[in-house]
Amino acid sequence: MTSPIRFTLDHADGGARAGRIVTAHGEIATPVFMPVGTKAAVKAMAPDELWGIGFRMLLANAYHLLVRPGPELVSAMGGIGRFMGFPGAILTDSGGFQAMSLARINSIDESGIRFRSHLDGAAVTLTPESAIGLQERLGADIMMSLDECTPFPSDRERARTSLEMTARWAARGLRARTSNTQALFGIVQGSIYSDLRRNSVAQITSLGFDGYAVGGLSVGEPKDAMYEMAELCAAMLPAGMPRYLMGVGTPSDLLAAIAMGFDMFDCVLPTRNARNGSAFTSAGTISIKRAAYARDELPLDPRCGCRPCRTLTRAYLRHLFMSGEILAARALTEHNLYFYARLMQGAQAAIASRTYQSYAKSVTSGFAAGEPGA
């Protein structure tokens, strides 16, 4: 089957790559960060606001959309993008991560994953075949193969059996695929064992997906182990296809992973941290809860051009947060996502001008400089 997406590499600087992914719902510049809209909504943000910030692809979760509102409704409404009112591309995670994060309500064997719905306890089953059918009905531009996200810590034998089952599931999912308009990515597992990661890359890439993801990282392992496994996998993945590092992470993590050669990222960090009062800035993170901001007339980040930084002071944002006002979550979320979008745009430009190393160094050194305007 000819790939439904087209991936073009335009520039390279060392390992860092800048290019384009063309989908049925538009073109996405890479490296790209995808905000997480688990239930077809990025918390505290309207779809047109995300588009205005510059995001052209979002992530949603197939398991959560399966239990509510259900793929039949989403399909009847014209697919997930139209349902959301988002004109760009949508990537759906298959639900494999939920097998780990909701471990208390699931069981896993060769046939697939059995859940008890976190909503009402109803039985839910995901197989490699049904996960693809589910994502096809949702209308995702990029679908993910069902995998078992190996938890940390896992011993070598547990990690080995997990990645081998993931490979068998990947082959089953490919055979079940019926859509020629939706891309399908395979997922590499293997925990923190380099030989197992190599085996997983070899197994998954031999199957012939439209792109490849590295999963099972940023799940509690030491940072140096995460970097080692990510770099090892990136070096082995096909150069002419999109490389997706799942669930990572902080701005520094993203910059490091871009240098390794990854093109796509997602993480709940910018939105979750915002709801907890934490803002990413050009000089690191700040907690708006601090009493020091009670009379501070500066914006969150004097170097930022987002709407909250143009119009709201730290003092006002702190008041909103301490008062439990919804506007605090909205403003901090918009700021954090704007920061991530500009981080990716800066990386794209730096790769094109072959100055990525100095760009990444200047950004990360800024994080260590202290709070902006302090």
Q: Which tokens is 68 given?
A: 């509510």
Active site residue 48: no
C-alpha distances (whole Å) from 18 to each of 64, 285, 346, 373 are: 32, 27, 11, 33
The catalytically annotated residue of 141, 266, 296, 301 is: 266
C-alpha distances (whole Å) from 219 to each of 240, 265, 269 are: 28, 15, 13
C-alpha distances (whole Å) from 102 to each of 42, 64, 116, 145 are: 21, 12, 9, 18
Partners of 284 in the beta sheet? Answer: 281, 282
| Angle at 191 (CA atoms; ends 119, 221), nearest 5 degrees | 80
Contact call for residues 269 and 43 (beta carbons, < 8 A): no
The catalytically annotated residue of 93, 253, 263, 301 is: 93
DSSP state at residue 36: B
Partners of 265 in the beta sheet? Answer: 33, 245
- For residue 95, the tally of other CB atoms under 10 A from its CB is 29
Contact call for residues 93 and 66 (beta carbons, < 8 A): no
Pairing of the two strands 142-144 and 183-188: parallel
User: 224, exposed or middle or buried, with CB in 10 Å at 0-12, 13-18, 19+?
Assistant: exposed
Q: What 3-state class would DSSP assign to 110?
A: coil
Active site residue 210: no
Q: Which tokens is 254 given?
A: 């993203």
Considering only CA atoms, which of 161, 260, 269 is closest in space to residue 214?
260
Residues with catalytic function: 93, 266
